[in-house]
Chain A
Amino acid sequence: MNTFYFIAFLSIFFSILVITAKNPVHSILYLILTFFTFTIHYILLNAQFLAIVNFIVYMGAILVLFLYTLMLMNLNKESEQPKSNLIKFAAVIGGGCFLVTIVAALKAFGASNPVILKDPNLGLVKNLGKVLFNEYLLPFEISSVLLLSAMVGAVLLATKDPKTAA
């Protein structure tokens, strides 16, 4: 349990640094550390497959692309638009409402009680695969079609329209 509290502290600490860091590249690097602590959380829950997939997909691919884009855009303080007070005010109210909703939802669910898994080996690849392809086959297939359509859409947006390009 102590490990959990330490890692949870690190997650929150790094995620605060993500939003307070002045340099956008530093902020992405803190985000990478935050995702790394999530990987440790998964391992503590004995969900090895989720842990390693989180590691490969989020840390190894998505955040590399984030970093890539930020390096290309070369954001710095001078090019940043100053935010007006109205936007800051709206952001504070919006964020506060979201926080209240989350806290209320957590309280309603009683999620502060630790969840005890019926089967501690549920997170291993074999069991996860069986559950995904037996019990949850339809949602699994639908979400894969959703991802495929997103991919096709991205390619379509990236290619030039032959009529307008000429």
Chain B
Amino acid sequence: MELADIIVKFILVVIIFAISLVIAMYSTYAERKIAAFFQDRIGPNRAGPWGLLQPLADGGKMFLKEEIIPTNASSFLFIVGPSLAIMTACIGSAVIPWGQKLTIGAHVIDLQVADINVGILYVFGVVSLGVYGVMIGGWASNNKYSLLGAIRAASQNISYEISMGLSIIALLLITGTLSLRQIAEQQHSWHWNVLSQPVGFILFLICAFAETNRTPFDLPECETELVGGYHTEYSSMKLGFYLFAEYINMFISSAVMVTLYWGAYNYPFMDWMAAHIGTNGAVILGVTLMFAKIFLFIFFFMWVRWTIPRFRYDQLMDLGWKILIPIAIANIVVTGIVITLINR
């Protein structure tokens, strides 16, 4: 790899990192505004015009508050927990293709940090690693409520990872590749995977809600039963990292859903657009549309949160094991049969 390539990749990493953080910051603002709208309130409107500086004020507050490490807590692991949560949330974006290749002069810029040939499994690995942040933090707090929250998080993540993996297998039968770049390219124009895999998409969506610990699956931090769940003992920026990680995870899982099922950066008539406004213009339009789709999904996450009440824990387990997994397996079988009949 040449030096120029490394510099380009480095700049891309920094940009994606900054975008993830800014989106996570403004997701907190959007969530409050949307919650306010759903409950017929006004929402934050004091800091800056329309309360736009509210996330900055919150961030400042998080940094400046007193940091408390409980006396009987395991102090090293108490710090490792939130660090791991935010780290795993941030590394997931490395394999997502944000757009087609940009051509500037003689340089071709790939709008993807790493095109590894097991890309989708990488995302999966990062997701499965994410639970350690919650578990370690919950255990290290030395608090019964935190421990219960951590244990709930672990069993919930493991259960829903299975149906998530099974829903992806049906998709892989169609695409025949694990690379996210190739999956994105196959959905050229309007050939989006959601058209051929609607059931798989709904399964994936439900599992994404469970993996990001969002309502109706936010049992690890169910405040009516567990005070604050796994982050009961946390204060200041360590609490901030846990909350922030949740919003980054929401952004990344929306991006993964858009890439896998909703055509990534593709849109109908993209060849016509490329012919009329130039290749680079079409690429930039594609990136913009990808982010528009991601924002729609983030809005959907919030919409569901303020509409549907939380499940009970046994209902959550029943849904995961007795409903989603059989549907996912049936989906794989049907997809396999249809592919065999078509290719015959």
Contacts and interface: CB of A to CB of B under 8 A. Distances in A.
A45 interface: no
A61 B128 contact: yes
Contacts of B154: 64-65, 67-68
B125, B127, B132: residue with the most chain A Cβ atoms closer than 10 Å: B125
Interface string B136-169: 1001000000010011001101100100000000
Nearest to B176: A126
B176 to A, nearest CB: 10
A10 interface: no
B129 interface: yes
Contacts of B135: 64, 67-68, 71
A59 interface: yes
Interface residues of A, number: 20
A31 interface: no
B45 interface: no
A52 interface: yes
Interface in A120-134: 124-125
A124 B128 CA distance: 22
Contacts of A52: 118, 121-122, 124-125
B155 A68 contact: yes
B124 A64 contact: no
Contact of B128 (A25, A29, A60): A60
Given A52-B122, A55-B125, A60-B129, A29 B136 contact: yes
Contact of A64 (B117, B132, B178): B132
Contacts of B132: 32, 64
B131 interface: yes
A60 B125 contact: yes
A17 to B, nearest CB: 14
Interface string A60-76: 11001101100110000
Interface of A: 25, 29, 32, 48-49, 52-53, 55-56, 59-61, 64-65, 67-68, 71-72, 124-125
27 contacts: A29-B77, A29-B136, A48-B117, A49-B121, A52-B118, A52-B122, A52-B124, A52-B125, A56-B121, A56-B128, A60-B127, A60-B128, A60-B129, A61-B128, A61-B161, A64-B128, A64-B131, A64-B154, A64-B157, A64-B158, A67-B154, A68-B135, A68-B154, A71-B139, A71-B151, A125-B117, A125-B118
